[in-house]
Amino acid sequence: MWFEILDGNRFIKNLYVKVPELKNIRIEGIKIHNEGRKVTIEFDMPFYAENPPEKWMNLGFNSILVEVDFFDIHEIDLQSIESKYRADMEIYKDEIDLINIKISGSLNAFIKADTGIIQSVRGYMNG
């Protein structure tokens, strides 16, 4: 599963009975840092957690934003066909153990990286 490839995945595993695949998700942003050596992807989970923290419930949160950083980038290909980014995202390792990130939808991207880490998982009120 996609999250098992990434470091820092404990919190997201605790939020869900079964962590969902990243289908038809909202892509908040893709940022290229450090002359292309680091890429940050921010996205909404496809549905809200079954086991949210009590604080999130008290604040009325209904969405989860995840921020993932990828390091030591080998390849980036990015194409956009609309201004609202919704897509499917796959995160998997290839035969030489590089992390591949494939985004397909109104935003298309392909990124290859050595490592990835979930930097933050935040609840928020959408709508």
Question: Cα-flanking dihedrals φ and ψ of residue 88, to 5°?
Answer: -95, 145
Mean pLDDT of residues grouped by 10 in the chain (127 residues)? Answer: 97 97 97 94 97 96 98 95 90 98 96 98 94
Determine the pLDDT at residue 81.
80
| C-beta of residue 75 within 8 angstroms of C-beta of residue 110 | yes
Please tell me the total count of domains within the chain.
1
Place of tokens 């030489």: 96
| C-beta of residue 86 within 8 angstroms of C-beta of residue 26 | yes
Domain of 73 in residue numbering reads as: 2-124
Q: What is the distance between the alpha carbons of residues 122 and 119, in angstroms, rounded to a whole number?
A: 10
Q: Report the candidate in 58, 69, 75, 77 with the shortest Cα–Cα distance to residue 125.
A: 58
Q: What is the distance between the alpha carbons of residues 86 and 80, in angstroms, rounded to a whole number?
A: 11
Determine the pLDDT at residue 26.
97
